[in-house]
A and B are shown apart, each in its own frame.
Chain A
């Protein structure tokens, strides 16, 4: 078993490699450890999903990669390599040159992320003109082309519409068009479909998959919906209290999960593809505050199998260790024991 922090890179072909990322914020109430030692990597043409409950640090991770944090109260450490270039210690100007061009983001709520005062077309053109030395006319042609690509009907007319004239699904398409304007190689989508209806969600996810094939870009998808993860992701990071609890391929996470928190998440969702159960199996308790994360394993107070560890979980934080090739788990339970519990006790509940 190798420690994830010691290896040089998860994969030599990794396009984005995040190592031991920590993002802490100093507040009046204390130090918020929003991200506390997170490592993962994504290859070109692949999708990584970051799953977790609200307050687990998913969104802060994405903002951290893009360099969108307030330098005054955020303390960032660790390393982020984008195509070999380190970002954490890079100058703000260097990061700004990459943001929107090499890496871009789709935000959760398209209504509050679009400026109500400017037309959709203007906002797409802006992103394009910042990074490319082109005329207004060329940028406008590009905007229409992008709107057409993301499936907006009559793009040459709708380009002059304001955000309020678009429906929720169309706004999210416009956001995607904007983020694609410079053909980014890394696309971070923070809950891109949470505010949308299921039928529209299906359209947007479909579009994202098509675009990924076309541009061969890497995607980081941040979500709390395991169904969306199953549909889109190649690899999955399960986050809890700012840390990765489990990291592996989608197959590892859905068919042979080894962390009690992943089991809890999978068992607590209602599923259309299963026989209706009498009762759901919730995870007891509430997620911890990031100011006051429990010592040791952050999950131990909600863990059903806590007693099997004989107290070590309360004092010692488990490292993310490789349990099978490419599948990392941060849990004190011995590998054999975890596999047995999943096989005998958990699998029947799912």
Chain B
């Protein structure tokens, strides 16, 4: 199984980089696989000092009161109670709207709110604020005497915020840094620079123990359902691990809670004692989702959750993700390379190229009024299942490959492949500017183009 998204290592690989990438993934598996950071060996001394008073208070409160309800407003029960789900009724009516246009924003997002709730997610408070986020992976040479010879700038200055209840899609080609971004947001990786604020609290450099309370709130769903479940553990152990690691007692015991979770994701409670190899890819992905949902997180990072699945199963899993989102009031960061899947599930979409966001806009704006030439190229490259339209469709063919992030082009990183590039693109880096309401683009010559 080839994973197109090897974080930070696109294209050519030196031996040194290969090892870092491998080390990273194992570390990542270890931590999230067990839903814990306790085992992380890297001591992050600086972060200890930053542990805020509130974190400690929250932690003790959670320990003192077994029922999670005391520490957080959500219920600890897993049943299909729609108590905390936003009103669903109006969503259906709102989605059929066809009006677009930047000025007519209200209906635009209503269409994007796909059953997520009748209220406009824009008016809700920010759950995640990311400022100038950077992650550089050092490239070293030598075995005994290691010397740094450069940096892979996997993520280089991302700024965005996420409202509660919304879904932000991150798209881009392999090697653009979207998976690294996901890992930075869950803090499986520590950022080189910038800031990540979750519900107003800075979690950028928290220590593993300082992070533990946040592990409940921020969860991750992985791409490969075959390698993200421990083959020696039963489904009960896998899905129950978060409860055990966080030391949480539920009202009816862990087993009952796990079985309710299995029902929630469309599996049967009898699957409790089975092993991962007994399940198909789609069912395994459901198990991964159940594990992510166990502690009632507020934010879930979905890293290519459906790209390893067949189309008919993809649709099942996408529907499930949407259902649990509206039921549990979740916020998603949805990382994918498939632009049509992202269009289906996201409220807002960020297009990344070589570690930077080149365009960030509401779903309808991005797909119907794209401004950045790279977005144009991406959209025009997606094949459409309609032979007659395929033959007449305008297609922008980009030349060459994505440049190496070890040595990205200066100024605008896209200028080497851009057909509109001029002198200024090679010397001045275009900032990410909001050139229409809620439509940010980083280009010197943005131009609207209709491609769909």
Q: B-contacting residues of A (Cβ < 8 Å)?
A: 53-54, 109, 111-112, 153, 164-165, 167-170, 195-203, 205-206, 224-231, 233, 250-251, 254, 264-266, 268-273, 275-284, 286-287
Contacts and interface: CB of A to CB of B under 8 A. Distances in A.
A331 B38 CA distance: 57
A281 B389 CA distance: 23
A205 B312 CA distance: 24
B103 interface: no
B340 interface: yes
B401 interface: yes
Interface of B: 2, 4, 10-13, 91-92, 95-96, 98, 111, 114-115, 173-174, 280-283, 310-316, 318-319, 322, 337-341, 343-344, 363, 367, 377-390, 395, 397-398, 400-402, 452
Contact of B386 (A153, A273, A277): A273
26 contacts: A109-B2, A112-B2, A153-B400, A167-B402, A199-B378, A199-B381, A202-B381, A224-B311, A227-B390, A229-B385, A230-B385, A230-B389, A254-B385, A268-B312, A268-B314, A269-B385, A270-B341, A271-B384, A272-B367, A275-B98, A280-B344, A282-B312, A282-B313, A282-B319, A286-B283, A287-B280
A279 B340 contact: no
Looking at B313, B315, B343, B400, which has the most chain A CB atoms within 10 Å of its CB? B315
Given A230-B387, A279-B319, A282-B314, 13 more contacts: A111-B2, A164-B13, A195-B4, A196-B4, A197-B173, A198-B339, A230-B389, A268-B311, A268-B312, A270-B315, A277-B344, A284-B316, A287-B280
Contacts of A206: 395, 397
Contacts of B338: 270
Contact of A272 (B91, B115, B315, B384): B384
A230 B401 contact: no
A276 B95 contact: yes
Looking at A167, A254, A281, which has the most chain B CB atoms within 10 Å of its CB? A167
A265 B312 contact: yes
A268 to B, nearest CB: 4
Contacts of A269: 311, 315, 340, 385
A225 B92 CA distance: 29
A39 B193 CA distance: 59
A15 to B, nearest CB: 22
A231 B383 contact: yes
Looking at B11, B311, B322, B401, which has the most chain A CB atoms within 10 Å of its CB? B311
A168 B95 CA distance: 39
B378 A198 contact: yes
Contacts of A283: 312, 315
Contact of B316 (A54, A225, A272, A282): A282
A184 to B, nearest CB: 25
B104 to A, nearest CB: 16
Contact of B12 (A165, A203, A264): A165
A230 B384 contact: yes
A268 B319 CA distance: 11
A280 B115 CA distance: 12
A141 B318 CA distance: 50
A281 B315 contact: yes
Contacts of B383: 201-202, 205, 225, 227-228, 230-231
